[in-house]
Amino acid sequence: MSQCKTSIRHIICLLVLSFFSISSAHAAVKEEAVYLPTRTGVIQPVLITSDTETPPEAIVILFPGSEGYVGINPDQPVTNGNFLVRSRRIFVQNHLATVVVDCPSDSKDGIGSSFRTGKEHAADISAVINEVNQRFPGLPVYLVGTSMGTISSAYVAEKIQAKVKGVVSTSTVFNVMSFPPKGLTIPVLLVHNTDDGCHSSPYGGAVAAAKAYGYPLISVHGGSFATGKAACGPFSPHGYLNKEEATISAIANWIFERPFEKDIY
């Protein structure tokens, strides 16, 4: 992972290392790669994306799957293919500011389940929320995870519930973690593809959790599977390939307490 190479004196202040401006038919998007000091001696990279013309109405903190590595770099745009990362501008088009979370500096080679469920991860994200609350005062914060990132969204939320309005869990890894955490009491939305072929995230787990805990469930039917790509990878039904816009629109509607599609075809 590319790390900030400036002196400690500079990074302690909070470094905004890059600005990217992208125009689209729907929005003028600003992106900032930001390195935040969190725990002692630790830097947490995040990518903050927002619409410069229409103020966001809520904030979503995005946790990618696998080992959590995104590759936030001050010198080039982020092109990571993870469902949440590649779809961040679709969230923005739905009036949401996004914060993509990368690996912290003391786990630069990737994070596993033990880190995702631990207090240090929660401390890092609590600091991230403090920062975005200053940038976007008064807006509710939601944690959104996909695949292994659902461990982060659920267990971080459990530890800092006073700072979080709700959790969105997409392609939840029911066969990897105990879900939901026992102390999680805030609203949870489940999103899952009925054709998810990943062994860690069976669709039946989402159906069972929705029934057991009364969580709303968005079932996405079908999508594309890129040739030669893994069933647990982002370019498959597990990663909502070619179903991104409808899926994120439904998520946004849930966040804004509007009617939302429970079945996406």
What single-letter amino acid sits at 250? A
The answer to whether 184 and 167 have CB atoms below 8 angstroms apart is: yes
Residue 153 C-alpha from the chain's centroid: 8
Q: What is the pLDDT of residue 74?
A: 84
Closest CA to 49 of 98, 101, 100: 98
Instruction: Please provide residue 163's backbone torsions phi and psi, each rounded to the nearest 5 degrees.
Output: -100, -5
Which numeric CATH code is attached to 8-216?
3.40.50.1820
Angle at which helices 149-159 and 119-135 cross, to 10°: 80
Tokens of 134: 């200053």
Mean pLDDT for each 10-residue chunk of the chain (265 residues)? 37 36 56 97 98 96 98 91 98 98 96 98 98 98 98 98 98 98 98 97 98 98 86 96 98 98 98
